[in-house]
Amino acid sequence: MLLYPNAKINLGLNVVRKRSDGYHDIETLFYPVPDLCDILELVHADSFRMQVYGAQIEGENLCEKAWRLLHERCGIPPVEIHLYKKIPMGAGLGGGSADAAFTLSGLNTLFGLGIPKEELAGLAAQLGSDCAFFIYNRPMLARGRGEILTPLDFSLGDHTLRIFPQAVFVSTREAYAGITPHEPAERIEAIVRQPVAAWRGHLVNDFEETVFARHPSLAAARDALYADGALYAAMSGSGSALFGIY
């Protein structure tokens, strides 16, 4: 089985509060980017094997965790997983989460498990905060850790979206360092109902302040997108990839 886990961007990202479990409650709009994908192959096998191409991934891969979750829950047999990484890592584009979610969905189909999408999303949330989004893979308002999802009838179909990976790795831990949670002055859903040209200065990513302070080159690159004619430009997620909407 051959699958193409796609990237996402965050349209706005508000860090609302620190939770008692150590995580943060956020508010964001997840938007899928179908043109930027990893390549994932699931193959029947006698023993489990995970092979990654195009990048080095330290520790247990989320795809392996996804297989183990269904192996323990449903008793599925071993598979070989071949993953070719094209989505940059440490870029805020959700590549690892997409890989995990697509692995869950693919295994569900490959072995005829019949797990409903809502239940599959709950399993995905155990693997990562934004994994559940990729089960649905459509524009979603996200709250909580990113796992509380509300579909939004929204499209950038009349615009051109361009992704600009940067030669900077930003860890989630680094991005949260120095963040002061707060209730947003404006809600993302209301902002994105306005024309894209009106978003600048209103649709904010709270991580930009701290990440740009540590990596001024990212702020300069974002400003260059505006100078190049972008109607709106921002960092995706916890960074470091930037995007422009034209």
Tokens standing for 207?
């991580």
Report the CATH number at residue 167: 3.30.70.890
Q: Which of 28-42, 53-67, 204-218 has the lowest mean pLDDT?
A: 53-67
| Domain shared by 208 and 231, yes or no | yes
The alpha carbons of the chain give a radius of gyration, in whole angstroms, of: 18
Looking at the domain assignment, is residue 156 inside a domain?
A: no
| Domain shared by 169 and 133, yes or no | no
Domain that holds residue 209: 161-245
Out of 114, 130, 151, pick the residue that ends a domain. Answer: 151
The tally of CA atoms less than 13 A away on the side-chain side of residue 246 is 12
Q: Identify the pLDDT of residue 22.
A: 75
**Tens digits of residue pLDDT in 173-215:** 888 887 889 899 899 999 999 999 999 999 999 999 989 999 9
- What is residue 205's DSSP assignment? B
| Residue of 38, 99, 130, 206 marked active site | 130
**Rounded to the nearest 10 degrees, what angle do helices 95-110 and 62-74 cross at?**
30
Active-site annotation holds for 130 = yes
Active-site annotation holds for 38 = no
Counting the structural domains of the chain, the total is 2
| Domain shared by 108 and 223, yes or no | no
Out of 97, 124, 151, pick the residue that ends a domain. Answer: 151
pTM: 0.93
- Mean model confidence pLDDT for the chain: 94
| Domain shared by 129 and 82, yes or no | yes
| Residue of 8, 38, 99, 206 marked active site | 8
Phi then psi for 81, rounded to 5 degrees? Answer: -115, 120
| Domain shared by 212 and 106, yes or no | no
Confidence of residue 59 (pLDDT cuts 50, 70, 90): low
**Residue 218 burial (C-beta neighbours within 10 Å; 0-12, 13-18, 19+):** buried
Q: Identify the pLDDT of residue 39.
A: 98
| Domain shared by 140 and 174, yes or no | no
Confidence of residue 57 (pLDDT cuts 50, 70, 90): confident
| Domain shared by 94 and 175, yes or no | no
What is the arithmetic mean of pLDDT over 103-119?
Answer: 98
Enumerate long-range contacts of 220-227, CB under 8 Å, 24 or more apart. 221/164, 221/166, 225/164, 226/200
